[in-house]
Amino acid sequence: MIDRDDIQLIEDYLSGDENAFGLIISRYLKLVYNFVHRFSGNSDDTPDIVQEVFIKVWKNLKKFDLDKNFKTWLFAIARNTAIDWLRKKKNILFSELDLHIEENEKSFEESVADTEPLPDEIFQRKELKKELENALQKIKPDFREIILLHYTENLTFEEISEMVGRPLNTTKSHHHRALHSLRKILLN
């Protein structure tokens, strides 16, 4: 049964179905890999970090609260593993706050993709994507993780807040600051 939801797969695995964990990995491997790659900004470390993530998931699956959202729990492990890895490697300060934000700024909006883009539009989008990826690497890790979790993993601010262990308003504020920082980098 490939169409089992996450909770069913976890229950099946804990009941002795070894294949259920493989299905969990195949369901989330690409998502976790993409998140870790973008968050860490280092393609060389990404496979090692992702492997560590799934080892931690495997070791702690018995402790997972089945009433919680598995994806949120998994991405919290991915986030924490990536942060630990980066701290060991680079000694980055993750808690600095950029307090110089102008009030009443317009929020960042992504353009809507055309159903059939022209070749020059495809090229422009690839260039914009590269610029955005480069800009993401220049903002603070706290801000980058919120942008990635919200826009690429479609997590709500409530889920992100729970995952990173910060109040909801702080998460929303960091989101706003991240968009401001991105806008500033992209306009320069």
pLDDT in tens, 21-42: 999 999 999 999 999 988 887 6
Which residues fall within 8 angstroms of residue 96, CB to CB, at 6 or more apart?
Answer: 140
Q: Is residue 113 one of the residues assigned to a domain?
A: no
Q: What percent of the chain has pLDDT over 90?
A: 36
Same domain membership, residue 132 and residue 82? no
State mean pLDDT over 179-184. 88
What is the value of pTM for the model shown?
A: 0.59
| Range of weakest confidence among 36-45, 70-79, 112-121 | 112-121
Q: Is residue 97 one of the residues assigned to a domain?
A: no
Domain total in the chain: 2
Domain that holds residue 56: 6-90
State mean pLDDT over 37-53. 86
Report the distance separating Cα 151 and Cα 36, nearest Å. Answer: 14
Cα angle vertex 29, ends 26, 31, to 5°? Answer: 125
CATH code of residue 176: 1.10.10.10
Q: Is residue 149 one of the residues assigned to a domain?
A: yes
